[in-house]
Chains A and B, each alone.
Chain A
Amino acid sequence: MSPPLLAARGVAAGYHQRRVLHEVSLQVAPGELLAIVGPNGAGKSTLLKVLSGALQPWGGVVELEGRPLQTFDRRALARRLASLGQESGSAFAFTVLEMVLMGRAPHLGALRLEGERDLKVAQQALERFDLLPLAARSINEISGGERRRVLLARVLAQEPQVALLDEPTAFLDLKHAAEIFSRLAQLRDERAMAVVATLHDLNAAALYADRVLLLKDGRAVGCGRPEEVLTRDNLRLVYETEVYVGRNPATGTVMVLPAAR
């Protein structure tokens, strides 16, 4: 097993006086897709913010390549770690291509325009998410699902070692959601990029994630391979409802259905 690329040890965090995370630990290796799942308010997004450095943990430590996150300067960190948040666009009408090229910012000096290689990276990212026909469109004129893909393409153009994705498939229909997961899986394999994603959809987590971290009230209930973590007992405890856990007949992976009437 390769050494962890990103690791959190005993992280506690919160906002103002309210503690959201208690003693959460995790680690991600290159080429690994870790899904963070759990009910609303379990602390998924907060954990992601701590991992990205946007939120200072109250306790514990986050390390990237074995170095504490705070020791990286902003730009150096942005070259290694990319985040997909819940942003909705811009006050100004940037084009889709400009938006994706913004992912190159941490790689460029203050006054440098994007060069040939930056354009090539952006072009590949656009292709990856079927956005090439939209390249010249304004970011404020496209649909919510398309914008989500643009932001994913930007994460890709950033060429990070770790991508932190907050609900990457929000606003996406079934087909595009599936496409995105398969492409993230490709990237993970091709570039050994580590992906940490918060997910609502337990079945997607089971299908695409290498490992799953299950959170409840800011504490890790389980962390491991999907079939180890997404058990009937764990899910009943975390979601406080009856569930059916079976096998997806098409893929053989874990499948979760609500079972309460």
Chain B
Amino acid sequence: MDARAKASPMPPAPQRSAPEARDVAAIGQAHLTRARMAEVLGTLGVALLAVCVLGVMFGSVRIDFLRALTQPSSPDHAILFAARMPRVLMGAVVGAILAAVGAALQALVRNPLAEGGTLGISSGAAFGAILALVFAYRVGGGAGIVPLAGFAAALLSTLAVYRLGQMHGRIEPFSLLLVGVIFNTFWSALILLINSVVNLYQTRSILFWLVGSLEAPTYREVAAVGALGAGGFVWLMWHARDMNLLSLGDDPARDLGVDVDAVRRAIFIATSLMIGAAVSVSGMIGFVGLIVPHILRLAFGADHRLLMPASFVAGAAFLVAADLIARLVIAPGELPVGVITALCGGPFFIYLLRREGHRGIAL
């Protein structure tokens, strides 16, 4: 009991103090209201729109928008509609997926340092996708097998990391992260193993997967990944309140009416599906799922009913912005966007690790 609480006199009887009691609803940021949800999501939505407009306006070359819109045969038109727009849209879709998945995984393992990248799930998905890519070409399979293999490998990774991160039935935050590190190393080794038996071009493509990039997507890819992402997101949203309860621990969540196993299964499958889809088109773009939910949590609170949609929108804005930077810094050449997110995310992760370590992650 801290000193301040001791010093304050105990109000006599609750009934008598009731008339003067402050109305809880008036305590602004203390809980989630519809108005606050609308305000936050509205603001983030406007920010996303603004970033997308910037992303479409600027690029490695300057274009004439009038000509782009009026002359369908002009290069300006092609740059705008065939190159820039699908890329901005793909950035938004992948960013939304990565951030929402990060927030959901953090609730699942009760650890704000969790993310597809840090838990080794993205590299698992990348391994699955690369394996499918190499073998699909060998046996002449369709392109649809690549995201599917990514999903399967992501699910396998998630389950394995989740099981191995537990000690005596409890998730230990640091052993979980260590398992994630080891999984990353393990999958990377397998990827390099594949790398050493394929030809020169596939080698280059594999490298490109490892860094993560949004280069040259098609509208069809955007639509396919967008549909998977939206589906997974709705599924996760359905369990957003359960994520709040799950973060208290399995027993309290169960006592508050959560079917813990069902929620966990939903998070496993939905996040794996989403990561598999995102990784199959963009490779491993790290740290988005770490940075975005964390900042949103600081700004708008921990309630997943707001955190999840806010991450979805803000993650989209974040990756579009990061990709804009990646396209501009060495124009007309370009950096893979994974370089930008890793440059932001690495130091951020260290900061979080020190902070959480200092506080002793409450479980």
Chain A contacts to B: CB under 8 angstroms: 52, 54, 74-79, 82-83, 85, 87-98, 101-103, 105-106, 108, 110-111, 113-114, 116, 119, 122-124, 126-128, 130, 132-133, 135-136, 140, 142-146, 158, 172-173, 175-176, 179, 183
* Contact across chains for A119 and B24 when beta carbons are under 8 A apart: yes
B64 sits at the interface (CB 8 A): no
B245-260 vs A, Cβ < 8 Å mask (1 yes, 0 no):
1011101101111110
Residue of A nearest to B110 (CB): A91
B66 sits at the interface (CB 8 A): no
**Among candidates A52, A98, A106, residue contacting B302 with C-beta atoms closer than 8 Å:** A98
Question: Which residues B1-45 have CB closer than 8 A to chain A?
Answer: 1-2, 5, 8, 10-11, 14, 17-18, 21-25, 27-34, 37
Q: Is the interface of A mostly helix, strand, loop or mixed?
A: helix
Chain B contacts to A: CB under 8 angstroms: 1-2, 5, 8, 10-11, 14, 17-18, 21-25, 27-34, 37, 106-107, 110-112, 173, 237-242, 244-245, 247-249, 251-252, 254-259, 297, 301-303, 305, 359, 361-363
Residue of A nearest to B363 (CB): A91
Tell whether A93 pairs with B245 under 8 Å between CB atoms, given A135-B27, A140-B362: no
- In the bound complex, what is the Cα–Cα distance between A75 and B247 (angstroms)? 18
* Contact across chains for A105 and B256 when beta carbons are under 8 A apart: yes
* Contact across chains for A111 and B10 when beta carbons are under 8 A apart: no
CB-defined A-B contacts under 8 Å, sample of 22 = A76-B257, A83-B251, A90-B247, A91-B247, A94-B244, A94-B303, A95-B301, A98-B30, A101-B31, A102-B244, A102-B245, A110-B238, A111-B237, A116-B25, A128-B14, A135-B24, A135-B27, A143-B2, A143-B5, A145-B1, A146-B5, A158-B256
- Which of A83, A113, A123, A172 counts the most chain B CB atoms within 10 A? A113
**B155 CB to closest chain A CB, in angstroms?**
23
- Which of B24, B32, B37 counts the most chain A CB atoms within 10 A? B24
**Among candidates B18, B106, B238, B254, residue contacting A111 with C-beta atoms closer than 8 Å:** B238
Residue of B nearest to A138 (CB): B302
**B173 CB to closest chain A CB, in angstroms?**
8
* Contact across chains for B24 and A122 when beta carbons are under 8 A apart: yes
* Contact across chains for A130 and B11 when beta carbons are under 8 A apart: yes
**B322 CB to closest chain A CB, in angstroms?**
25
* Contact across chains for B252 and A85 when beta carbons are under 8 A apart: yes
